[in-house]
Amino acid sequence: MLRRIAAQSEPRLWAVARAAKESLLHIKDLQAVRAAPAPSTPPSAVAAKPGPPKRTIYDADTSENLPGRVVRKEGAAPIGDAAADEAYDGLGSTHRLYAEIFGRDSIDGAGLALDATVHYGNLYDNAFWDGNQMVFGDGDGEIFQRFTKSVSVIGHELAHGVTQFTAGLNYRNQAGALNESMSDVFGVLVEQYLKKETTEQASWLIGEGLFTDKVQGAALRSMKAPGTAYDDDILGKDPQPDSMDTYVRTSADNGGVHINSGIPNRAFYLVASELGGNAWGAPGQIWYGTLISGSLPPACTFGKFAKSTAATAEELFGVGSVEHDAVLKAWETVKVKV
């Protein structure tokens, strides 16, 4: 997406294209960090009972110096800065999902403080977890609005931290696509849990509300219908496949990590749709249980991940249970062999 924006040559888009190029250079460095092996949290450090969140919000004042100046601490009142207050609330919503549904104490399972910097860079088109904290750009105003507007994006990026401290999936090829998919799964769960939405009520969109009204698109990605999130003159058409029949083989994007994540994304949606109710229930427990199971190798494939989710469903609910059958059916639908 950013590559298409960076290639724009219309005078009205020069500033946007320049901002996209700068974002791409930064993302290259960020991907290198994600590709590096990350230590998991030792079992002895995992908290027996989740504690309260410990949030600190910083303001970079459009610089790229982290973390910036403190503008809001845990328990303090809103300060009237939309980005800072949205970041504070989004961190809290993410902490709440992990604590109340999965019994996990923050991102690392051991009460990690949640730090976030807002107003990062000039027209910066991204939000990211850098291995230690969250960082949010304000967008370019032409295509993207501020990245704190979407709680699913906040949940998505923090889930990269959870993966970092658990499975440590490589950030390349199918393992990288699974890394991205796990972040999408827990991103939508944060949003759905916050809104108390059922599977049927939820939009299943990642980044809904990030685009300006100049863009023909609803969100960055759709888990319900990969490949349909946007179709725009500048951004092009959403390239995500919804099954292995249209799997994209590419050297770009670390082997298509943001593209092919549509396949496992749809598998999770199909499980949730089949079971009904709340996706943070059985579907979320199966995916979270798989993530922390220790059964996923760093270079995990879709097939290995599918087998692991089936094994987790069997362990939690039994062979032949509706939950186990839903998992098998979902992977069969997206053409991944279990």
Burial track 89-101 (b if 16+ CB lie within 10 A, e otherwise): bbbbbbbbbbbeb
Q: What span, in angstroms and rounded, lies between the C-alpha atoms of 127 and 91?
A: 13
| Continuous segment of H or E residues that includes residue 118 | strand 114-118
| Catalytic site residue from 157, 191, 208, 323 | 157
Which residues neighbour 277 within 8 Å (Cβ) at sequence distance 6 or greater? 198, 199
Which residues neighbour 249 within 8 Å (Cβ) at sequence distance 6 or greater? 256
Catalytic status, residue 157: yes
Q: What span, in angstroms and rounded, lies between the C-alpha atoms of 204 and 185?
A: 9
Amino acid 221 reads R
Catalytic status, residue 258: yes
Q: What span, in angstroms and rounded, lies between the C-alpha atoms of 67 and 91?
A: 16
Q: Are 190 and 94 in contact (CB under 8 A)?
A: yes
| Catalytic site residue from 26, 119, 156, 258 | 258
Q: What span, in angstroms and rounded, lies between the C-alpha atoms of 223 and 152?
A: 12
User: Catalytic amino acids?
Assistant: 157, 258
